[in-house]
Structure 1
Amino acid sequence: MDIDRGVARVSDYLARVTGLNDRYRAGAVHAYVPDALRDSERSLEELVEEHLPTSHAALSAASRSLFLSLPVAFDPSESVGPYLAAADRDATGQPYRFLDMGALIATQPFGENDPAVAAAILESLPFVTSRYAHSEYQTVLSLRLKAALNRIAPAGTPRHFVVNTGAEAVENAIKSVLLNRVMTSEDGDGGFIVSFEGAFHGRTLGSLAVTHRKKARLGFPTFDWPHILFPFEHLSAPKETVRREERSLKQLWDLLVSGRLPRADKSKDTYKREVDAIDEFLAAPDQDVTAFVQAQRAHLSPDVVRRSRRVAAVLVEPIQGEGGVRFASASFMRKLRLLTRIYDVPLVFDEVQTGWGMTGRLWAHELFGLPCPPDVVTWAKKAQNGVLFVSEELATFFQEEKKFNTTWEGDSVGMVRLLAVLDKLDLDCVQRTGERARRGLDAIARDYREIVKNVRGVGVMLAFDVVRADWSDALRDRAFRRGLILLPAGERAVRFYPRYDTEPSAIDEALAILRAAIDDLVGGRVATEPASAPKIRVGTLNIPLDTIELVDIAPAGFEAHKQEVLLVEQERYGAAVPYPPDVLRAGRRPLLQFPLETLEATAANPQAIGLAARDRVSGRLVGYVLGSALENHDEEGIGLDPRFGENNTFYLQAMAISPTVQNQIELQDLLLDALRGRAMAAGFEFLSALIEEQLRDSGPEWLRRAVILERIDNYLRSGIPFTYLQVQLTEPAGP
């Protein structure tokens, strides 16, 4: 009887799935959420409790569990395509649906309740009812998967090992290259792995050692391995891109020839000669890579070869996903491959997110036209498990019993899902889907040019930046209230990831909701003419500087003073300031005013420097300055800062003087001079800042020497001109 009921339920499910897909393909399924969610005066949590009570009850029942997620309980049985059904229903019994442009964190290549996947699951019920420990008990299914992986293995990495997650794939890649060095180096030292600034490779301890996003890594002790600059490409500034690439390659070369050991010869002439040879080789097509590599190796001294063996591998994402959807040029990647090959250092591509079609190529590193293939490729997400592809040379170490082992070697249900769609991949369809979405995002960027910037991407891996990091959450909140799910990346990036076969109508609907969400925040498009600057009210206090006490507020001390700091920020840049009517806001807060969370995050950085000016007479704070190392920030202009990646530049993120102070310039100069002294004492050589233009002209003499790198006439529609500037902190040398 139970089986009969189960069969009936399966039959009902298949009928519902078929009907849902027919409706979706006909353009009859849409985002549908309670209108009340748009009430921006109330918190989303409060509105979910009232208008999505089933979701609220489910989340509340699970509240003892440690998790952070979207505030909705989803119902996969009513989901279709990119439309995710909530557990909640309207008065007629219809499910509410959200339109997902996050592709379930890039894990889903195709739509929900794909008929091919549903049929495959039903046909594979024996593999679903019992989960086999494949490390000892291989099944027909697990062996089918292994055979199928032979067909899609990246060139140069024909051997593969199945694990459960992307982090496990990266962990095993780390183990394989370290063991390679242990087994083949004279000193038996596993050495270290070089990775890139901004990288995200997972949350296990080994993968954290090669992850260089401070929020993910902060507080966890792990290996002290170096990272180098990721030279993300700026199409609007090709010279700056080339300069970044040269710096990144030089940083890697220094590590290769030194092995991080003292007294290494890092001759610039030698470096230039080697890079020139690589450039010359790449400029001439159809040359013998093996012969070139052997010829270059012949120039390496035995000492350099010994030192370079301490570099176990170079690990890089072809596109940094979690780091902000950042791209490096094909030219850089080709040079990187040749340089690592010459020094016999394995090159590992982390394609956990980018692999299997997302970029319009089977593997994202195929976009680069590498002169020779990588040595290791990791894949997960759309694999529904984790997969490690390795070269024949590195595969040798997997044959040693139990050195590489995981109980499950993948989940059977995930294997079924992947096998069901392997032959469905259509790279031309991926390109068409991505092109439609990209055109729509480009149009939004043109219409809201002061808000949406730097639309970028390839295939369906698309993203754009918002003007300030704190605006990302506000925009995604407004989009969610209208039924659109967007996910963040990096500090300012918002991802836009359609499924490979997303219907054009769904893409158009997502773009329309995104436009509406922007309008919710800014109340219209960008004015064609800059508005006049707001008038700051005349101060009422002339505070003698000898009554000012400077208080350190970062990295320690911010907690005790944060409310006073926020009050100064609100007085100077808050809602009471008479801005033009169309000033950009996040809710009621003008975007020029930093939210407390942003200031707290900066103050918590170990390299932060913060000072506040306290009036001893009144006892209140009347001004403050705050910032940290340039590489910790992602504000407007930082992407083109010529010092980015040198780790010698202090970024002045926030500065405010209370408008109640009459002698603001004197107080401003006092704070800036004190900040300069603190920054120099901390080892910083330069200061960069995006500040009001008048501050450069009215500031201390040393600030007036600053070079203006970018000027923004009407920043955030405030009517105030801002400049991105940079200045050397020490006095310039004489003639």
Structure 2
Amino acid sequence: MMCGSCSNENAFKNIFIAYQRRLRGDIDFTLEEKISCLMNQPPGCPKLSILSFLNGFHGRTLGSLSTTHSKYIHKIDVPSFDWPVAHFPQYKYPLDEHERENSDEDNKCLEEVEDLVVQYEKKGAPVAGIIVEPIQSEGGDNEASNYFFQGLQKIAKKYNAYFLIDEVQTGGGPTGKFWCHEYFNLETPPDVVTFSKKMQLGGYFHSSEMTPRQPFRVFNTWMGDPGKLIVLESIIRIIKEQKLLDNVVTTGHRLKSGLLQLENEFPHLINSTRGRGTFLAINATNEKLRDDILKRLKAKGVQSGGCGAQTIRLRPALIFQEHHADIFLDIFRQVLKQS
């Protein structure tokens, strides 16, 4: 695929194809299905749905946009499918001081997911798939526990839905593992994983059971960019040879420890350090302060970014090392002293 949006779009198609084949069995399409789909009508175009999460971001094209719920500007004026939207866990920090509250939050969100799956089955639009980011990026760098993701997978299996993990932001190593979902100790691999960004081109991989039986069902003009595959092969080789994932873990620990120290120094300005590897974030106490901090960082030569309502997110390259983390933390401290 060419980008993250079309990776998710085609993953949705693949999910719907596999879901319907499981219902139909390995028999040919009926004449009614063939004719009705050309008019956008069932049974050829069945009423199915994809469950997604509030504050999730999965793309700006029509199908993926129906699963995007971060900023109104992405969606306003654009028709959307009537697909279920659940709440993603919103944790209290520090995590080790709020274990009970955060566990309750996990269970509340999982209960809502299961309720929505049941509701949409009853209303005639069964959930064929569940899509989720390992860390909700555009929506505020929201993380969730291994328990939450394990629970999601169990719900998907219970109701014969496919489990799609969107690794467009997290894939390629920034969390310290090549795929962030490797942290989750899932019972089985996800049914589908989408990727783009650090991977140089868009795409997805899936279980063998999901392979369409007929050609051209998942297809596009260029099938991604074959030239970028050559680049990707070299990148993966360098990641392995230079042990860059180990570097991300080491540097990430230094960076996260430094952010936590700054939290202690400036509790009236920043809080809620979170993330994995160097894929980290911290909250300012309000949006105006966050934007001011970003401007001051940029004036001192640090390109950072915001996400969600008041979050500062860090996205250093895989070659970012501990001494680079020290330079950043020193500049960040200077900015906070001025704020």
> TM class, shorter-chain normalised?
0.7 to 0.9
Measure, in 1, the Cα distance between the counterparts of 2:63 and 2:200: 22
1:232 aligns with 2:90: yes
Per-residue Cα deviation, 1:525-544 (whole angstroms, up to 9, x for no partner): xxxxxxxxxxxxxxxxxxxx
Q: Is the 8 A contact 1:430 1:500 kept in 2?
A: yes
Give the aligned partner of residue 248 of structure 1. 109
> Following TM superposition, by how much is the alpha carbon of 1:412 offset from its aligned partner in structure 2, in angstroms?
4.2
Aligned partner letter, 2:218:
F
Matching residue of 2:79? 221
Residue pair 1:316, 1:348 contacting (<8 A) in 2 also: yes
**SS of aligned partner of 2:257:** helix
Q: Does 1:485 align with 2:299?
A: no
Q: How does 1:44-83 map to 2 (within 5 A)?
A: none
Q: Is the 8 A contact 2:247 2:321 kept in 1?
A: no
Paired residues, what number? 312
* Structure 1 gap segments, 5+ residues each: 1-162, 263-306, 522-735
2:51 to 194, 198, 216: 194
- CA separation in 1, counterparts of 2:159 and 2:4? 28
Find 1:499's aligned residue among 283, 293, 317: 317
Which residue matches 1:149? none
1:289-316 deviation per Cα after TM superposition (whole angstroms, max 9, x unaligned)? xxxxxxxxxxxxxxxxxx7x82110111
2:20 aligned partner, one-letter code: V
Matches for 1:540-619 after TM superposition, within 5 Å: none
Structure with larger RCO (C-alpha < 8 A, sep 6+): 2
Letter in 2 for 1:325: D
| AA matched with 2:69 | H
Q: 1:330 corresponds to which residue?
A: 146
Indicate the SS of the match to 2:122: coil
Is the aligned partner of 1:168 residue 2:168? no
User: Is residue 2:225 matched to residue 1:368?
Assistant: no
Q: 1:406 aligned to 2:220?
A: yes
CA drift of 1:394 comes to: 1.0
Q: Are the counterparts in 1 of residues 49 and 83 from structure 2 also a CA contact under 8 Å?
A: yes
Would you say the 8 A contact 2:176–2:278 is kept in 1? yes
- How do 1:228-307 residues align onto structure 2 when only pairs under 5 Å count? 228-234=86-92, 235=95, 236-261=97-122
| Aligned amino acid, residue 235 of structure 2 | V
In the alignment, is the contact (CA less than 8 A) between 2:11 and 2:194 conserved in 1? Answer: yes
Contact kept, 8 Å, 1:232 with 1:329, in 2: the verdict is no
User: In 1, distance between residues paired with 2:177 and 2:302?
Assistant: 27
Q: Pick the structure with greater CA Rg.
A: 1
Residue 257 of structure 1 deviates from its aligned partner by 2.7
- Whole-Å Cα distance in 1 between the matches of residues 321 and 191 of structure 2? 37
Contact 2:86 2:116 in 1 (8 A): no
- Alpha-carbon distance between aligned partners in 1 of 2:290 and 2:312, rounded to the nearest angstrom: 7
1:423 aligns with 2:237: yes
After TM superposition, give the deviation of residue 338 of structure 1 in Å: 1.4
1:200-252 Cα offsets, whole Å, 9 max, x none, are 00111111100111332222212121110101333132232222222222222
What SS does the aligned partner of 1:348 have?
strand
CA distance in 1 between partners of 2:19 and 2:140 (Å): 32
User: Aligned letter for 1:484?
Assistant: V
Q: Which residue of 2 aligns with 1:321?
A: 137
Query: What is the CA deviation profile of residues 512-570 of structure 1, one whole-angstrom value per residue up to 9, with x for unaligned ones?
Result: 2212222232xxxxxxxxxxxxxxxxxxxxxxxxxxxxxxxxxxxxxxxxxxxxxxxxx
Letter in 2 for 1:168: C
Q: Please list the CA deviations of residues 44-69 of structure 1 after superposition, one character each: whole Å capped at 9, or x if unmatched.
A: xxxxxxxxxxxxxxxxxxxxxxxxxx
Maintained 8 Å contact 1:181/1:310: no
Residue number in structure 2 paired with 1:508 = 326
Provide the aligned C-alpha RMSD in A: 1.8
Structure 2 counterpart of 1:181: 19
The percentage of aligned residue pairs carrying the same residue is 33
Q: Encode CA deviations 1:557-589: one digit per residue, 9 max, x unaligned.
A: xxxxxxxxxxxxxxxxxxxxxxxxxxxxxxxxx
1:483-504 Cα deviation digits (max 9, x unpaired): 1111111111111122222133
Deviation at 1:476, TM superposition (A): 0.5
Asked if 2 retains the 8 angstrom alpha-carbon contact of 1:478 and 1:517, the reply is yes
Opposite residue 8 of structure 2, the aligned amino acid is V
Partner AA of 1:414 in structure 2: K
The CA deviation at 1:453 is 0.5
Contact 2:250–2:322 at 8 Å: present in 1 too?
no
Q: Does 1:458 align with 2:316?
A: no
Distance in 1 (CA, whole Å) between partners of 2:62 and 2:300 is 38
Q: In structure 2, the residue corresponding to 1:410 is in which secondary structure?
A: coil
